[in-house]
Amino acid sequence: MNSESISPLELSARRRIAAAMRPLRNLVAEEVTNRFLTQHPDWLVRYGDRARMFGIEDAGYHQDFLTAAIESGQVDAFRDYAGWAAGMLMARHMDPCLLAENLQQIGYALRRQLLGSDAGIVDVFIQAGVARSLDYRVDASPSPSGRLA
């Protein structure tokens, strides 16, 4: 596998971006989950408060891995994570497009909080994750058919 990295980005810049992202984790996770549940009210009907709880938790995990991948400068690491997460959704009979949507929402929320050049770096990682998650598309309904643990 050819490892893609953000080579021109210095370690100090990667650390600065990651440091700016960490305190935003919970705020972004809640914002993303609220937006997702507004766009997919069937999740609240079907799962109740667990939909919000797991949505916030998952959005936080996505950001944790995104932050670590950015700090290490490894786009492929985030791409691989998105592939793994998409596979987990498929195993639960959920459409990986939901992951792509969630990652896009995380990117949107972070772009509004970060400096322009930093937001551009985040976008590189987000787009790699979105593309990888869409590789796992299935002919399933976008509404959840699996069970939340």
Position 147 pLDDT exceeds 90? no
Condensed to tens digits (0 to 9), the pLDDT of residues 87-129 reads: 999 999 899 999 999 999 999 999 999 988 899 999 999 999 9
Domain range summary for the chain, segments of one domain joined by +: 11-134
Please state, in angstroms and rounded to a whole number, the distance separating the CA atoms of residues 120 and 97: 23
Which amino acid would we find at residue 114? L
pTM for the predicted model, two decimal places? 0.85
Query: C-alpha 105: how far from its chain's center?
Result: 8
Condensed to tens digits (0 to 9), the pLDDT of residues 13-45 reads: 899 999 999 999 999 999 999 999 999 999 999
Backbone angles phi, psi at 74, to 5 degrees: -110, 95
User: What is the CATH number that goes with domain 11-134?
Assistant: 1.10.490.20
Identify the three-state secondary structure at position 115.
coil
Q: Are 25 and 66 in contact (CB under 8 A)?
A: no
The set of long-range contacts for 44-52, using a CB threshold of 8 Å and a minimum separation of 24, is 46/144, 47/144, 47/148, 50/148, 51/148
